[in-house]
C-alpha cells in the first residue's frame, strides 16, 4: 500500500504511514493525525485565552473552558493543560473575590494588584513552558478538576 499523502510504501498490515503519520485506509485518502506541534499550540491557547479576562469579565474562565471543551477528547495534552489552566483561573477568581472583601479594611487593594500581576505573569510562564513542550503546574492552585 502506498501513502497518498507522501508516497511512502507501507506494509499491507500498516494502519499509519511510518513517514508522515497519515492514517491509511483501503480505498480512502489518508487522514492526518493531529501533529505534536498542533497539540502544543492548542494547549498553549488553554493558557493564553485566560488573558481574555483583562478585557471581558470572567473571560479568564470562559476562554480556557471553551478551548478545553473543544479539544479535551482528542488530545490528552490539551485535556491535562486545560484542567490545569481552569483550576488556576478558578483559584485566582476566588482569591480576587476574597481580596475584594478585604478592600474595606484597606489591605484588599494592594492584594488585588499583586494577585493580578501574579495571574498575568504565571499565565505567560505557563504558555511559554507549554509551547516548549514542558509540563507546567501552577502554584497556589486549588484542584477542582482532576
Domain segments of the chain: what residues?
1-33, 36-131
The neighbour count for residue 59, using CB atoms within 10 Å, is 16
Residue 63, pLDDT above cutoff 60 = yes
pLDDT digits (tens, 9 = 90+) for 25-34: 654 444 444 5
3-class secondary-structure state, position 59 = helix
Read off the DSSP letter of residue 15: S
Lowest mean pLDDT among 16-20, 92-96, 129-133, 134-138: 16-20
pLDDT (0 to 100) of residue 31: 41
Q: Decide if 30 contacts 22 (C-beta within 8 A).
A: yes
- At 75, the pLDDT band (50, 70, 90 cuts) reads confident
Q: In this structure, are residues 50 and 63 in contact, taking their beta carbons and an 8 Å threshold?
A: yes
**What pLDDT score was predicted for residue 23?**
65
Amino acid at each position: 500500500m502506498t501513502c497518498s499523502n507522501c508516497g511512502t510504501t507501507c506494509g499491507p498490515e500498516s494502519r499509519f504511514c511510518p513517514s508522515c503519520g497519515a492514517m491509511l485506509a483501503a480505498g480512502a485518502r489518508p487522514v492526518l493525525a493531529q501533529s505534536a506541534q498542533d497539540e502544543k499550540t492548542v494547549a498553549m491557547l488553554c493558557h493564553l485565552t485566560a488573558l481574555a479576562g483583562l478585557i471581558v469579565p470572567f473571560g479568564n474562565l470562559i476562554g480556557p473552558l471553551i478551548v478545553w471543551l473543544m479539544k479535551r477528547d482528542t488530545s490528552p495534552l490539551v485535556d491535562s493543560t486545560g484542567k490545569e489552566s481552569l483550576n488556576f483561573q478558578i483559584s485566582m477568581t476566588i482569591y480576587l473575590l476574597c481580596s475584594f472583601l478585604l478592600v474595606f479594611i484597606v489591605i484588599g487593594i494592594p492584594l488585588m494588584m499583586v494577585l493580578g500581576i501574579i495571574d498575568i505573569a504565571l499565565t505567560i510562564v505557563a504558555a511559554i513552558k507549554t509551547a516548549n513542550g514542558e509540563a507546567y503546574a501552577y502554584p497556589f492552585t486549588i484542584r477542582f478538576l482532576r
